[in-house]
Structure 1
Amino acid sequence: MLTRPQLADIFDRLGTPPAGQKLNANAREQVPVREVKSRVGQVIAILTSRKMRRGIQSESGHVEFTVTVSKEHTNDVLEYYAQPCELRFIIDAASYTSSLGSTFRDTRC
């Protein structure tokens, strides 16, 4: 997990606007923004993260957990959060919520 000075340096290098910095700060302080729940056919999986120094919960033993493990072991991902913010997408009357957010090494997202 990055320190605040390390994160500020990345924001400066990437030219991250204040709104993006605020979104990241809120995600870091308030994760998860919603309770991780087990739904029909899903399980709650918990990865004890060395990178993040905390347990990271995912709502699926397959897709989300696989992404979490990948983020844990990829050097290009500096930090990641489960349920970092609520972004709603409405597609054909169905609503979807973002589940994982990441800070990548030297990459514009």
Structure 2
Amino acid sequence: MKLIIKNIRCPFLAQETPVINRVLREKGIFPLSPPVICKKSIDARKKPDIYFVYTVIARVEQYQGYDPNVSVYQEDDYPASLPRGTSPAGYRPVVVGFGP
């Protein structure tokens, strides 16, 4: 089973791997393989205290705890790419929400 763990905060100058592993152990998550970072963002709302915020995916045998930041990860079954068309569409594409 794969779990997705959100909102793992790591100080800006700290090493990410030990912090992520410590947080996972505190939550009772013991991964079978090293966790995979799927999102990394910066939280700089408080200027002297800058943090990286991680979302990781960990493979585990079981998980019994409850934490709002931990959920079962389900991979999407989308195709890797869309097939290229063979004829012109005949109309202009509509693009919504992409602006400056």
Compute the TM-score of the two structures, normalised by the length of structure 2.
Answer: 0.28
Q: Which has the higher strand share?
A: 2
Q: Which has the higher contact order (CA 8 A, sep 6+)?
A: 2
Q: Which has the higher helix share?
A: 1
Q: Which has the larger radius of gyration?
A: 2
Compute the TM-score of the two structures, normalised by the length of structure 1.
Answer: 0.26
